[in-house]
Amino acid sequence: MLRIAIGQISPVILDREATLAKVMARLREAAERGCGLAVFGETLVPAYPFWLCRTDAASFDDPDQKHLHSLYLEQAVSIDEGHLDDVCQTAGESGLTVVLGVAERPAERGGHTVYCSRVVIDERGTIASVHRKLMPTYEERLTWGIGDGAGLVTHRVGEFTLGALNCWENWMPLARSALYAAGEDLHVALWPGCQRLTRDITRFIALESRSYVVSVGSLIRETDVPQSVPLRERMVEPGEVVYDGGSCVAGPDGQWVIEPVVGREELLIAELDHEQVRRERQNFDPSGHYSRPDVLRLTVDRRRHNAARFLDEAGSPES
């Protein structure tokens, strides 16, 4: 059995430290409630960029958009600069594996582009992998870079093998297949937060993969947007709920363990029984006895893609 915690919380919009403080509070609560895994939504830190479709973000060379993007970059997560160190420490002290969605600003890509990333932190408090969203969706391409396959990996959590994808890349059949082939039987789908996004696909992936599927979303309400945020009056209406959560869990038979929860911040708890995975694999196993690698086979490039490769002479300073 594995007890999991689903952190359906709201970010403090464009405030990395305040949002991380909320994450760590939920981690401590999850540990107190005996959980071994805690998960959080897509780019929860420092927020999903919901403003793109509300502020005419495609306006070229617009000074307001440049200012807002600059703030997003400033508040994005740099793993190299230690922005997740306290979360890692909390995870290690609590013995929790953590799946966290962040807007990542990686140094090896120059440090000035944001990627939609999911970070897995293991129970020792070590960052086990970082997956950057393969293809930002629609207006997301105005603010996020395109990721690679380096994070299409799985991790052991108790008896389970965990994999995770960001939002609409959960609709990519080959991305799912890559994780199935790596032994996944517990799939985490990270979302901005809306039952319209989670209700159908969560049960579909569970049936396709014969795995537990955990969809985790955030809430974004007018009250979560600080008055100091630029263009706030164009982002939200008084009292508006932009994203309502929709976090849920489906079992490997496609039945609900937790139906979509909307409208409130909550640490949802579920008990997962690995025997249920083994039972459902009896009649269908997508990368095992029901696969035909002699006919259909997937090639996955899991190298991290960088803009440059520096070949320095021995003894010379690094470039």
pLDDT tens sequence across 231-275 = 999 999 999 999 999 999 999 999 999 999 999 999 999 999 999
Using 50, 70 and 90 to split pLDDT, how confident is the model at 313? confident
**116, 133, 169, 280: which is the annotated catalytic residue?**
133
Residue 314 has pLDDT above 90, yes or no: no
- 117 forms beta bridges with 102, 132
Report pLDDT digits (tens) over 180-229: 999 999 999 999 999 999 999 999 999 999 999 999 999 999 999 999 99
Average pLDDT over residues 113-118: 98
Q: Residue written as tokens 């799912």? A: 176
Residue 89 has pLDDT above 80, yes or no: yes
Domains in the chain, CATH or no CATH each: 2-280 (3.60.110.10)
Using 50, 70 and 90 to split pLDDT, how confident is the model at 73? very high
Report pLDDT digits (tens) over 120-132: 999 999 999 999 9
**35, 88, 116, 167: which is the annotated catalytic residue?**
167
β pairing state of 97-104 and 256-262: unpaired
Mean pLDDT of the chain: 95
Distance of CA 317 to the CA centre of its chain: 37
Check residue 95 and give its pLDDT: 95
Which tokens belong to 52?
Answer: 């793109």
**Residue 42 known to be catalytic:** yes
Check residue 13 and give its pLDDT: 95
Check residue 278 and give its pLDDT: 97
**Residue 66 known to be catalytic:** no
**35, 42, 140, 169: which is the annotated catalytic residue?**
42
Report pLDDT digits (tens) over 270-289: 999 999 999 999 999 999 99
Average pLDDT over residues 100-105: 98
Average pLDDT over residues 48-73: 95
Give the span between the Cα atoms of 82 and 85, in whole angstroms.
Answer: 5
Check residue 18 and give its pLDDT: 96
Average pLDDT over residues 64-91: 97
Check residue 315 and give its pLDDT: 58
Report pLDDT digits (tens) over 166-189: 999 999 999 999 999 999 999 999
Check residue 317 and give its pLDDT: 55
Give the span between the Cα atoms of 239 and 289, in whole angstroms.
Answer: 52
Residue 54 has pLDDT above 90, yes or no: yes
Residue pair 13/47 in contact by the 8 Å Cβ criterion: yes
Q: Is residue 123 classed as helix, strand or coil in its secondary structure?
A: coil
Q: Is residue 197 classed as helix, strand or coil in its secondary structure?
A: helix
Check residue 175 and give its pLDDT: 98
Using 50, 70 and 90 to split pLDDT, how confident is the model at 40? very high
Give the span between the Cα atoms of 211 and 187, in whole angstroms.
Answer: 7
What residues contact residue 5 under an 8 Å CB cut-off, 6+ apart?
A: 26, 29, 30, 33, 35, 37, 38, 39, 267, 268, 269
Give the span between the Cα atoms of 319 and 247, in whole angstroms.
Answer: 45
198, burial (CB in 10 Å: exposed 0-12, middle 13-18, buried 19+): buried
Give the span between the Cα atoms of 70 and 66, in whole angstroms.
Answer: 6
Using 50, 70 and 90 to split pLDDT, how confident is the model at 318? low
> Closest Cα to residue 1, out of 213, 186, 159, 162?
159
Residue 229 neighbours by CB distance under 10 Å: 18
60, burial (CB in 10 Å: exposed 0-12, middle 13-18, buried 19+): exposed
Average pLDDT over residues 111-115: 96
Which tokens belong to 306?
Answer: 């960088």
Residue pair 181/207 in contact by the 8 Å Cβ criterion: no
